[in-house]
Structure 1
Amino acid sequence: MSTYKIYTDQLTLIKEKPFKLEKEIQNIVEKNLQTLLGLDFIKTEFSIGTFRIDSLAFDSDKKSFVIIEYKRDKNFSVIDQGYAYLSLMLNNKAEFILEYNESKSGTLKRNDVDWSQSKVLFVSPNFTTYQKEAINFKDLPIELWEIKRFTNDTLSFEQIVNRSSKESIKTVSNSETITTVSKEIKVYSEQDHLENIEDDFLNIYAEIKEFLLSFGEDITIYPKKKTIGFKIGSKVFCDIVMQNKGIRLFLNAKKGTLKDPECITRDVSEVGHWGNGAYEVRFPLKSDTEMDYVFNLLRQTINKNKE
């Protein structure tokens, strides 16, 4: 897609300013991890044995580690290299926890980490068609992100989204590494949360989902182990917990920041819960007319997370 600058009704093409070194890409991403990916930076050039990880990050929402690799060349296998790094992590959990605690002055323990949601990100100005096709599996803990810099001091950062594949990487690979890693790491899908849910609540979820996605392409679905998250950019602004007899909707806003004169939300700011934020709405509602009221709460939450 071409981008143009407008000046007195005349268009000038904004040209790409290629990165000369992988290190340039790495520096930009590491300094802006929260803005770009919503991740906490842990370590640059993290070495274990003969392996060196470009960037080690932590997803505080999922309580999992994220490995980030930067590429300018196109001659590498995202599958082989990605699973090699995940295998390295699972076989060296203590070293990853130690690095986190030294970096964050924390007390993270092995059981505090959800290793099942670990993943690898590859960041590059370009990926080949083969590499893009290689990620078309429903359960692949590997993501591709394209980064481009332009002459007007702007940057694009976009995930290569795989097609809605129903095929599992485990069914097409005989790799021992992939088999071993797949026993511990699971990629959660939206559908995982919708199994065995009553139709009435599936319909409510579909209504909420349609409303949220109507706000534009910046809104994305973010399935996790316990919840279905919805993100605006890199921020999770709400979480939905699907249950057999109801739905729990968590709104990611600080206590006292949403206008709720009808008091239909529950204050969970000091209560342990799976979602983010201080507000909870439970379904079923007292009446169908309250759905518009919930939509207003969601609209407020989206606006708060844009600030």
Structure 2
Amino acid sequence: APQVAADVLDVYQVKPPKTDGYTINDHPHLLNTGISKLFEALRRQVIALDPCVTEEFLKLYVAYKAETNFVDVVPQAKRLRLSLNMRFPEIYDPKGICKDVTNIGRWGNGDVEIGLERLEDLPYVMGLIRQAFEKQMGNG
């Protein structure tokens, strides 16, 4: 049988989600029907980016990580506020929906903020999230 290094195997092992004691139930806005459908669609696509992506529910937001956080989701009453962990000048955003939050105190990591309110915007937003993921993985 072929030999595979332990560190390579570790990348592809299914890891239990880290909870630190927090779950989806600690985010009341995610229990709202409209926002929960949007969040479920978003989380499925973010997790599908790569086998190394993990989801972690924290007190104030939900973190998606590869090596470190590449997108954080802050559930709000009528939208999901996304923070992309990259510098604002590095994002390619032809529609101009990203907001520069450099040096502004916010929950989440990164200088790029996006408000996601509608399922129809998810494909475009996933393109922006992919940029943050690729940047972290050294492909951006």
TM-score, normalization by structure 1: 0.39
Corresponding residue to 2:16 among 146, 155, 161: 161
Unaligned runs of 5+ in 2: none
RMSD: 2.7
**Aligned twin of 1:221:** 55
Query: Which whole-Å CA distance do the structure 1 matches of 2:14 and 2:44 have between them?
Result: 22
Q: Secondary structure of 2:108's match?
A: coil
Q: Does the Cα contact within 8 Å between 1:193 and 1:228 map onto a contact in 2?
A: no
Q: Does the Cα contact within 8 Å between 2:30 and 2:36 map onto a contact in 1?
A: no
Q: Does the Cα contact within 8 Å between 2:30 and 2:75 map onto a contact in 1?
A: no
Corresponding residue to 1:255 among 78, 85, 88: 88
Q: Is residue 198 from structure 1 mapped to residue 32 from structure 2 by the alignment?
A: yes
Query: Which whole-Å CA distance do the structure 2 matches of 1:156 and 1:236 have between them?
Result: 19
**Aligned twin of 2:69:** 236
Q: Does the Cα contact within 8 Å between 2:64 and 2:72 map onto a contact in 1?
A: yes
Query: Which whole-Å CA distance do the structure 2 matches of 1:196 and 1:295 have between them?
Result: 19
Shift of 1:283: 2.9
Seen in structure 2, the aligned counterparts of structure 1 residues 296 and 14 have a Cα distance that, compared at 3 Å, is: closer
Q: How does 1:1-307 map to 2 (within 5 A)?
A: 4=2, 13=3, 156=10, 161=16, 187-194=21-28, 197-232=31-66, 234-285=67-118, 288-307=119-138
Seen in structure 2, the aligned counterparts of structure 1 residues 223 and 291 have a Cα distance that, compared at 3 Å, is: same
Residue 188 of structure 1 aligns with an amino acid whose one-letter code is Y
Residue 132 of structure 2 aligns with an amino acid whose one-letter code is T
4+ long deviations beyond 4 Å: 154-160
Larger radius of gyration: 1
Q: Does the Cα contact within 8 Å between 1:266 and 1:281 map onto a contact in 2?
A: yes
Structure 1 residues 40-80: Cα deviation after superposition (integer angstroms, max 9, x where no partner): xxxxxxxxxxxxxxxxxxxxxxxxxxxxxxxxxxxxxxxxx
Query: Which whole-Å CA distance do the structure 2 matches of 1:187 and 1:160 have between them?
Result: 16
Query: Which whole-Å CA distance do the structure 1 matches of 2:59 and 2:115 have between them?
Result: 20
TM-score, normalization by structure 2: 0.81
Query: Which whole-Å CA distance do the structure 1 matches of 2:134 and 2:30 have between them?
Result: 33
Q: Does the Cα contact within 8 Å between 1:223 and 1:229 map onto a contact in 2?
A: yes
Shift of 1:155: 8.5
Per chain length, whose mean CA-contact separation is higher, i.e. which structure has more relative contact order (CA < 8 Å, sep 6+)? 2
Q: Aligned residues: percent identity?
A: 24
Q: How many pairs were matched up?
A: 135
Shift of 1:191: 3.3
Q: Does the Cα contact within 8 Å between 1:198 and 1:245 map onto a contact in 2?
A: no
Q: Secondary structure of 1:256's match?
A: helix
Q: Does the Cα contact within 8 Å between 1:237 and 1:302 map onto a contact in 2?
A: yes
Shift of 1:222: 1.4
Query: Which whole-Å CA distance do the structure 2 matches of 1:155 and 1:290 have between them?
Result: 35
